[in-house]
Amino acid sequence: MRYSTILITGGSGFIGSSLALRLKDKYPKVKIIALDNFKRRGSEINVPILKSHGVEFMHGDIRCPEDLALKDKIGLLIECSAEPSVLAGFGDNPKYIINTNLVGTVNCLELARRDKADIIFLSTSRVYPYEAINALKAKESDSRFEWLAGQKARGFSSQGIDIDFPLDGAKTLYGATKLSSELILTEYIKMYGIRGVINRCGVVAGPGQFGKADQGVVTFWMLAHYFKRNLNYIGFGGQGKQVRDILHVDDLFGLIDLEMRNFNKVNGKIYNAGGGKNCSVSLRELTSACARITENKVNIGSILKDRPGDIKIYLTDNSRVEADLGWRAVKNLAQIFEDTFSWIRENQRELKRII
């Protein structure tokens, strides 16, 4: 391991804390620092867990450059901080999401420039425009929407969306701010000689996630079944046939670990990272899985109106990262669901207070 100190921003959130714990477990001699502002409710309960595993915690906000004035010189920055809601800014003031996802990223890049640190930037599949994705032809089965075969579109195949998919068009403010950050990172790599890699992640799930209706759908759905709370199918006919592929956070760690150890190979690259077509699920199918695992059924309403920026189907084509690093998602849907359920059951008292 070439790094002696690693900073993880958004470090007490789901992905950030998961990566911090796994890194510390695999590389116990490396100093791992997790920085977070506790904007997302529930993230504060991860701090004692991080500290008990030897991860240092800093309460800070990436929007404030002085909070990033670390005494330690870092060798690697893993940028996990974000306002992750696809609904952020709709009908509301956009300043928070812009200041966090764009200005905050620039502040992080300045720290990386100061220390000549490598940077692994977690971006999102939401950089791809939703109208173009929804324009892809699909059919409807009993439980899900499915793309039709034989369509000719750049960056699209039966496996899903590749990084060549056109970026022109609206993406939500979440997607737009993350894409803007990608572009600025690319300039920092060329202009200042730092090394960086971008991972456009799809839906990430697993133990430790505090799911909400607009982010963290697998945990949100499982929590609702576990605590017997009503749900709604929203948009696209209100039948719950929207489809997403799901990536276990352990598999995301596996990718980041590979990138850390092969940085010369991945420097300047952009990768899609998701569960892929074989690890995809519709809301309707997720309902059946949650009901089976929790042994609870809940009432599910139907809202016909689409939510702003919503997508009928998203599947990740991981072929670029598979070709470069030999990485592919290992954990299947059953493992993702069981790991999520076990975590909820073990932490039910705290989770019931938070939700």
Q: What is the pLDDT of residue 214?
A: 66
Give the closest residue to 339 by CA, choosing from 329, 349, 351, 331: 331
Q: What is the pLDDT of residue 106?
A: 97
Give the closest residue to 9 by CA, choosing from 169, 122, 103, 118: 122
pLDDT of 19 > 80? The answer is yes
Give the closest residue to 4 by CA, choosing from 105, 159, 115: 115
Q: What is the pLDDT of residue 1?
A: 81
Average pLDDT over residues 169-197: 97
Cβ neighbours around 228 below 10 Å, total: 11
pLDDT of 355 > 90? The answer is no
pLDDT classification of 39: cutoffs 50, 70, 90: confident
pLDDT classification of 59: cutoffs 50, 70, 90: very high
Distance CA 292, CA 120 (A): 38
Q: What is the pLDDT of residue 91?
A: 75
End-to-end CA separation in angstroms for the chain:
39
pLDDT classification of 343: cutoffs 50, 70, 90: very high
- 308-321 pLDDT, tens digit each: 999 999 999 999 99
CB 68 within 8 A of CB 79: no
- 269-310 pLDDT, tens digit each: 999 999 999 999 999 999 999 999 999 999 999 999 999 999
Q: Judging by beta carbons within 10 Å of its beta carbon (0-12, 13-18, 19+), is residue 128 exposed, middle or buried? A: buried
Alpha helices (H) in the chain, listed in sequence order = 14-26, 46-52, 95-98, 104-115, 130-134, 172-192, 217-226, 249-261, 263-266, 283-294, 319-325, 333-346, 348-354
CB 216 within 8 A of CB 205: yes
* Residues ≥6 apart with Cβ < 8 Å to 123: 178, 179, 181, 182, 198, 199, 200, 201, 270
* Total count of residues recorded for the chain: 355
CB 129 within 8 A of CB 311: no
| Partner residues linked to 300 by β-bridges | 231
**Torsion angles phi and psi, residue 238, rounded to 5:** 65, 30
CB 139 within 8 A of CB 66: no
The torsion region of residue 273 among left (phi > 0), alpha (psi -120 to 50) and beta comes to: beta
Distance CA 325, CA 2 (A): 19
DSSP state of 307: P
Q: What is the pLDDT of residue 212?
A: 72
